[in-house]
Structure 1
Amino acid sequence: MTTKKKVARRKLSLLELATELGNVSKACKVMGYSRQQFYEIRRNFQTFGADGLLDRLPGPKGPHPNRVDETVEKAILDYSLSFPSHGPLRVAQQLALQGVQVSSGGVRGVWSRHDLLSRHDRLLRLERTAQKRRLKLTDEQIRLLERFSPEFRERHIETRHTGDLVAVDTFFVGTLKGVGRVYLQSVIDCFSRYAWGRLYTSKLPVTAVHVLNQDVLPHFEAHGARIETILSDNGREFCGRPDRHPYELFLQLEGIEHRTTKVRRPQSNGFVERLHRTLLDEHFRIKGRDTWYESVDAMQTDLDAYFHHYNTERTHQGRGMQGRTPNQVFLDGIVKGKKTETEEAA
């Protein structure tokens, strides 16, 4: 309760006590008021009601007669929004050039009524106004937001059914004594997370073609499915002249669309990158410590066993997998893909 309301309630208590006692002098003595104050309070209460009990400051009601008009006040506020660091004298001089006559004291008066006396307050007002303003982003600004904003970076690749998008990549496994460098050509269906992989001692286009032709396409054909799009990085084993590069020619013959990721952006091929981490944690780092390999074939035999476990026995915790195995989702996605084709044909 404000002080004014407390005083008004005390005055009302004075009037009620005088009525109850039937003695004005005794009521004034108890409440600490004079008889003159009592009669003035009673007159105001009879004339104005409860509002008459509130203390009123003397002087004319309404705005001060020397206050600037609304047009000048708006001009001062607009100028202070554009130049919040300018002082009152400079604001008055600049507005005079625009035909608005006001003194520096008038500028300070406007600032005082709007709590803008300090430069910091005027800067905060500019910040609040800018936050409410809606901006139309250019294509360049949108591109930069998508590149650096976590909200955009965390967007997921959407796939509709098995074979809708298949991701491929080359992964350097390590160096085998007596053999040399060993590379993994990995392939994963982005919808079901079903994965394939073969080890090679080089990363030529023929190795990328071989794993598709030997493992991936036969698996899809055996289940009556097909690959619509392949996503790869811009490595030489995947990209080249369409009329000469072996990988590009192979995809054209199979009727598969080839898409590439952004340069130096491995996150845009996150499915296969996450597969590589799983292979490292659950297979290569373990087998590399408990098995002595002398050939790539021996490594491939153990890798095939792991892929069988990964695809058919290991529950997957990825987005949308719901604890199912990749093989289960692969088969369900084939049915879903056929329904989609039927709906599109209709």
Structure 2
Amino acid sequence: MTTEEKVARRKLSLLELAKDLQNVSKACKVMGYSRQQFYEIRRNYQTFGSEGLVDKLPGPRGPHPNRVSEEIETAILEHSLAFPTHGPVRVAQELALRGIQVSSTGVRGVWGRHDLLTRHERLLRLERAMREQKIELTEEQVRHLERFSPEFRERHIEVHHTGELVAVDTFFVGTLKGVGKVYLQSVIDCFSRYAWGRLYTSKLPITAVHVLNNDVLPFFEAHNAKVSTVLSDNGREFCGRKDQHPYELFLQLEEIEHRTTKVRRPQSNGFVERLHRTLLDEHFRIQGRTKWYEALEEMQQDLNDYLVTYNTKRPHQGRNMKGSTPYAVFKKGLPKATKKEPRKTAENTA
């Protein structure tokens, strides 16, 4: 409700009170009006109705003749945005040095029309203006944000085609009586979720190389595709001196980039971690309770059978999979066919 509406309502209350009391003098004394004002209000109400109770200034209601020009008002607002803690006198003096003549009262008038009378309001305006600006971040600033911001740290891995990124990991399955500890060397294509896995009794660089050389790379070659990048943790079977470590040397020979996850951050290799959970829930925990294994080969055969189902028959509910099988997405994400040189091996490079 505006001030004019409040005044009109008060005048109407004066007329109603005088009618109820049947005493004009007493009503005027209660409401704070004179008898002359009462009769003038009643005459306007009887002549013009409720519109007669609204005070109207004579003449057109336009801008005040002493209001500063638009150029000066713009200069005041720009200065207040750059220096929101300056008072009206300081702003007037600063503008005078630039050849803009305005009084401190004129500055306050501009502030009043834009709700900037207090220092706090001017500081809030500065915050809003800064939020609307687009800031170009340097590479160093981006690295700091990725390090300390959970939004950047937990973001999804973006993969655009088959073979662009392949995640690998070593998973401890359990202990097999008469055999010893059993480890799974797991590999998954991050675009299609197509998975490979081999069981070993140790976790060594040679076992990590074996599953890539015998299972993964031949499968990609059969589909005229190539592995661009391998993502692993910092385990000893994957990482070491590039000129001596077998796994590093193998990746260099195959011209595959090797990336590692952050220490103690398994979320950064989430595709293969989720594969391990699926293997546990749908295969190992069930087979371990329904079948007695005496040899590693028996476990490997059952794992191979499950991986066939996982890759070609089981609908996948992962992000962007939409219930498709990994093999279907694997073929869909194959890059355009290109002439491909035969893969280098230890035999043909000797």
Structure 1 Cα separation of the partners of residues 329 and 73 of structure 2: 68
Give the root-mean-square deviation of aligned CA atoms: 4.2
Residue matched to 1:204:
204
Structure 1 Cα separation of the partners of residues 98 and 178 of structure 2: 86
Structure 2 Cα separation of the partners of residues 292 and 145 of structure 1: 51
Q: Could you tell me how far 1:275 is from its partner in structure 2?
A: 1.5
Larger deviation: 94-103 or 268-277?
94-103
Query: In the alignment, is the contact (CA less than 8 A) between 2:261 and 2:269 conserved in 1?
Result: no
Q: Could you tell me how far 1:116 is from its partner in structure 2?
A: 1.6
Residue matched to 1:258:
257
Letter matched to residue 33 of structure 1: T
Count of equivalent residues:
295
Letter matched to residue 260 of structure 1: R
Residue matched to 1:123:
123
Structure 2 Cα separation of the partners of residues 309 and 170 of structure 1: 22
Structure 2 Cα separation of the partners of residues 230 and 62 of structure 1: 71
Structure 1 Cα separation of the partners of residues 55 and 227 of structure 2: 83
Letter matched to residue 304 of structure 1: N
Q: Could you tell me how far 1:198 is from its partner in structure 2?
A: 1.8
Q: Could you tell me how far 1:257 is from its partner in structure 2?
A: 1.2
Query: In the alignment, is the contact (CA less than 8 A) between 1:231 and 1:269 conserved in 2?
Result: no
Q: Could you tell me how far 1:196 is from its partner in structure 2?
A: 1.3
* Residues 126-147 of structure 1: per-residue CA shift (max 9 Å, x gap): 2332233232222223344556
Letter matched to residue 338 of structure 2: E
In the alignment, does 2:185 pair up with 1:185? yes
* Residues 206-254 of structure 1: per-residue CA shift (max 9 Å, x gap): 1101222333344445x3545332412243322333332211222344x
* Residues 279-321 of structure 1: per-residue CA shift (max 9 Å, x gap): 2332234445555666655543443332232123312233454
Question: Following superposition of structure 1 onto structure 2, how do residues 134-173 of structure 1 map, counting pairs within 5 Å?
Answer: 134-145=134-145, 148=149, 150=151, 154-161=155-162, 163-173=163-173
* 1:57 alignment partner, SS class: coil
Q: Could you tell me how far 1:107 is from its partner in structure 2?
A: 2.9
Residue matched to 1:305:
305
Query: In the alignment, is the contact (CA less than 8 A) between 1:84 and 1:126 conserved in 2?
Result: yes
Larger deviation: 119-128 or 87-96?
87-96
Structure 2 Cα separation of the partners of residues 137 and 131 of structure 1: 15
Larger deviation: 61-70 or 180-189?
61-70
Residue matched to 1:340:
337
* 1:158 alignment partner, SS class: coil
Query: In the alignment, is the contact (CA less than 8 A) between 1:168 and 1:230 conserved in 2?
Result: no
TM (norm. structure 2) is 0.65
Query: In the alignment, is the contact (CA less than 8 A) between 1:166 and 1:227 conserved in 2?
Result: no
Q: Could you tell me how far 1:262 is from its partner in structure 2?
A: 4.4
Letter matched to residue 189 of structure 1: D
* Residues 38-91 of structure 1: per-residue CA shift (max 9 Å, x gap): xxxxxxxxxxxxxxxx99623687654544455554443233223334444554
Larger deviation: 265-274 or 87-96?
87-96
Letter matched to residue 235 of structure 1: G
Query: In the alignment, is the contact (CA less than 8 A) between 2:165 and 2:190 conserved in 1?
Result: yes
Residue matched to 1:25:
none
Letter matched to residue 317 of structure 2: Q
Identify if the C-alpha distance between structure 1 residues 294 and 108 changes in structure 2 by more than 3 Å, giving closer, same or farther. farther
Q: Could you tell me how far 1:117 is from its partner in structure 2?
A: 1.9
Larger deviation: 310-319 or 82-91?
82-91
Question: Following superposition of structure 1 onto structure 2, how do residues 103-122 of structure 1 map, counting pairs within 5 Å?
Answer: 103-122=103-122
Identify if the C-alpha distance between structure 1 residues 92 and 300 changes in structure 2 by more than 3 Å, giving closer, same or farther. same
Which stretches in structure 2 are left out of the alignment for 5+ residues? 6-42, 49-53, 340-350
* Residues 10-63 of structure 1: per-residue CA shift (max 9 Å, x gap): xxxxxxxxxxxxxxxxxxx9x9439xxxxxxxxxxxxxxxxxxx9962368765
- 2:47 pairs with one of 23, 30, 33: 33
Residue matched to 2:226:
227
Identify if the C-alpha distance between structure 1 residues 55 and 274 changes in structure 2 by more than 3 Å, giving closer, same or farther. same
Letter matched to residue 230 of structure 2: L
Query: In the alignment, is the contact (CA less than 8 A) between 1:232 and 1:238 conserved in 2?
Result: no
* Residues 169-189 of structure 1: per-residue CA shift (max 9 Å, x gap): 222334567766543210123
Which stretches in structure 1 are left out of the alignment for 5+ residues? 5-28, 35-53
Percentage identity across paired residues of the two chains: 64
Identify if the C-alpha distance between structure 1 residues 88 and 284 changes in structure 2 by more than 3 Å, giving closer, same or farther. farther
Question: Following superposition of structure 1 onto structure 2, how do residues 64-75 of structure 1 map, counting pairs within 5 Å?
Answer: 64-70=64-70, 72-75=72-75
Identify if the C-alpha distance between structure 1 residues 96 and 303 changes in structure 2 by more than 3 Å, giving closer, same or farther. same
Letter matched to residue 129 of structure 1: A
Structure 2 Cα separation of the partners of residues 96 and 166 of structure 1: 67
* 1:210 alignment partner, SS class: helix
* 2:77 alignment partner, SS class: helix
Greater helix share, 1 or 2?
1
